[in-house]
Structure 1
């Protein structure tokens, strides 16, 4: 029993010492990304790609609408088997249109990931450099924090590492509001 108590005290002392040696900071990655000149280029590329996908979907939709209108005009003159075949074709066109919309959304998300990955990598490298130079053991995303002192906000330092100068610090809005408990 004494051995267990001794081990517990050693563990508590060690963890307290380790925690006391920790140095924390946070950064607003989205703010840093928005300040990067390359970010505007990425947004323009994404907008162009989205417009292309949208035009393709619109063309498919118009083709479907035309086929549906033709069917509705001639359905009364069709045989039952021809009408059934045409309805099956229209249902398949509608399903293809829905699949195309889902695929377009996935393609846009994939393209966004591809274009942003190098920017996020540069941001992460800058965060790592700032953390090492400033002696931070942990750097958190500002969005994940409920409260943190503004003195531990390193977004401007990260931007400086990226060679970007800004006039003002990002709005942190991390403090606990009046009356919140």
Structure 2
């Protein structure tokens, strides 16, 4: 499989998100962050309906919605990102808003990010702390604190030794 190409200027940081675009997955939060960043933000995933819900009103020139990709194709995008985001919110809903699953959030996205060695920022929620440790395998930040996430992005982007990747050993 050939590597995908991402739009945007070279030399500008690329921030990625992969997964569904359901309510509670933090897409509104990602768009809020993107409005404050010079970085390019790439969202991989979402049904056509969910994608339209977010993309049509989005007027940010640094945000790209790539739509659904087969699971095997998503992995090819991860090395293209400098930082990846998992902004789970307090309440996460399944497709169609049928059930709220925040207490049992699936960590599949986080495991995929970890398997690729991506520098990641993740919401600081109890269910996620069962696997993640701040400054060991990610940066944990409050799910609704825009400034804390911006600080984390800036920290990762200016962390020369990691070159946009989180160190494999605690510092």
TM range (shorter): under 0.3
Q: Which has the higher contact order (CA 8 A, sep 6+)?
A: 1
TM-score, scaled to structure 1: 0.19
- Provide TM-score, normalisation by structure 2: 0.19
Hey, which of these two has a bigger chunk of helix by percent?
1
